[in-house]
Amino acid sequence: MIPAAFEYYRPKDMDGVLSLLREHGDDARVMAGGHSLIPMMKLRMAEVPHLIDLQDVGGLSGIDIDGDSIRIGAMVTQADLIDHAALAKAAPILREAALQIADPQVRYMGTVGGNVANGDPGNDMPGLMQCLDASFTVVGPEGAREIAARDFYEAAYMTAREDDEVLTAVTIPLPSGGHAYEKQKRKIGDYATAAAAVQIVKDGDTCASAAIAMTNLSDTPVFSEAAGAALVGTGVDDAALKAAVAAMLGDIDPSEDNRGPVAFKKHVAGVILRRAIERAWSRA
């Protein structure tokens, strides 16, 4: 299909972006890579009279790693995550997850900022960022502010970002321990039927801490604090794995769709989470 008519803007700096947002209000939308917004416009699921492209805005494409954290600009692509050697060493789960997103053509254009900002419950990065305790920098008329990934998602396509704010960066505490991102999908390029991001820190033969987040199993990504707590203090044996899966199943709320009925999705979620925990534990 063909989208409704719209005005296209390509400002050179963030001041220009914010000025356009002030001028056009609810009729304006910001676009990063465009892989979520453009299909919705073509299907007439979103009408955007004024489209603001971030491609020429400077300062949004860097990856910076210091002793405590990783800062990823909103316009960094999934391909950039995959190809960045220092990032793969510091946080290999980012590369592991990015390689499971869609296909190479999408990964060369799809951005981290777009993936986390639009609130699509099927996107991979939101749950991963919750697992890693990331924070998002948004810039608006009142300046910049930080929003924790675990507080960012309110409902499907609804987030804590105001309409006149732009997500400019993602900051992640330097990960420690073992990590894994596991995903089940029907075919290459599809959203997950279920996906799990897991981070585990080991103390000897015991789990000292664990963070678990699930993707596409509710109208928002699900950070399951109870599932992580079920592993702490255990040797991540079969009983602990069953307790973590049971806790996670109590936190998700999947809906029946063309990926399967609710019972099937819950089964897949349990299988995927168990795999992710076992892999993260083996790497811790």
Q: Are residues 186 and 139 in the same domain?
A: no
Instruction: Decide if pLDDT at 1 tops 90.
Output: no
pLDDT at 271: 98
Q: Are residues 84 and 114 in the same domain?
A: yes
Q: Which of 65, 38, 195, 37 is nearest to 125 (CA)?
A: 195
Q: How confident is the model at residue 84 (pLDDT cuts 50, 70, 90)?
A: very high
Share of the chain above pLDDT 90, in %: 89
pLDDT at 208: 98
Taking the C-alpha atoms of 27, 33, 37 and 42 in order, what is their torsion angle to the nearest 10 degrees?
A: 110
Q: Is residue 1 part of a domain?
A: no
Length of the chain: 284
| pLDDT tens figures, 32-72 | 988 788 888 888 878 899 999 999 999 999 999 998 999 99
pLDDT at 2: 84
Q: Is residue 15 part of a domain?
A: yes
Classify residue 177 as left (phi > 0), alpha (psi -120 to 50) or beta: left
pLDDT at 270: 98
Asked if 218 and 253 count as a contact pair (C-beta separation under 8 A), the reply is yes
pLDDT at 108: 93
| pLDDT tens figures, 217-254 | 999 999 999 999 999 999 999 999 999 999 999 999 99
Q: Which domain holds residue 39?
A: 7-53
Average pLDDT of the chain, as a whole number: 96
CA-to-CA distance for 195 and 69, rounded, in angstroms?
Answer: 25
- Domain with 239 in it: what CATH number? 3.30.390.50
Q: Which residues, 6 or more positions from 124, have their beta carbon under 8 angstroms from its beta carbon?
A: 97, 100, 101, 115, 181, 183, 192, 195, 215
Q: Which of 28-42, 149-163, 170-184 has the lowest mean pLDDT?
A: 28-42
Q: How confident is the model at residue 94 (pLDDT cuts 50, 70, 90)?
A: very high
Mean pLDDT of 142-170: 97
Q: Are residues 108 and 197 in the same domain?
A: no
Q: Is residue 264 part of a domain?
A: yes
pLDDT at 36: 81
Give the residue from 140, 173, 206 where a domain finishes: 173
